Amino acid sequence: MKTLTLLRHAKSSWDDPVARDFDRPLNAKGRRAAAMIGRQLKSLDFKFDHILASPAVRVMETLDEVWNGYGRRLEPVWDKAMYLASGASLLDLVHALPEDADHVLMVGHNPGLEDLTLDLTLDGELRERAEDKYPTATVAQMTLPITRWAEAQSNSATLIAFIRPRDLDPTLGPDTP
């Protein structure tokens, strides 16, 4: 059995004048949400033995805040292939994960993370929530009935957690006009 956890980067700032999308930082709400998600991961005793992350600034800053909340810094493998990757490309990265890693965290972007979640998981209430909306700083954790990552396939995983920042603190939900 393998466990795959997907974390979408936190809310980024569109007000910051950067030359490239890749360099866009988090906004204040995103920083709060990421730290809260880190605290939740710790309280639920989520553990990771391998982390694969996009090197985009907003992902790096998300992880900094998550680790602040988690209380422990874990070092990811930074992979440019994760930057704005499609669900199919992310599945290729899953297939290439180290076999000795049983609990993997992947941190990146939508729509790829949402597409990968929906592709891998079986129907159920949590999957319906993910299908409805996969907001920034949201965590989806699934178990896969496999012994090797290369065996991961569509409609085989069980989504066991889907945690949105607004579920933990309503002020972290969508902005209201």
Q: Show binding-site residues.
A: 58
Q: Show binding-site residues for substrate.
A: 58
In whole angstroms, how far apart are CA 141 and each of 86, 105, 175?
18, 9, 26
The alpha helices in 5-124, defined as continuous H runs, are 28-43, 57-70, 87-95, 112-120
Residue 79 CB burial class (10 angstroms; 0-12, 13-18, ≥19): middle
CA distance 55 to 79: 6
What is the separation of C-alpha 38 from the centre of its chain, rounded to a whole number of angstroms? 12
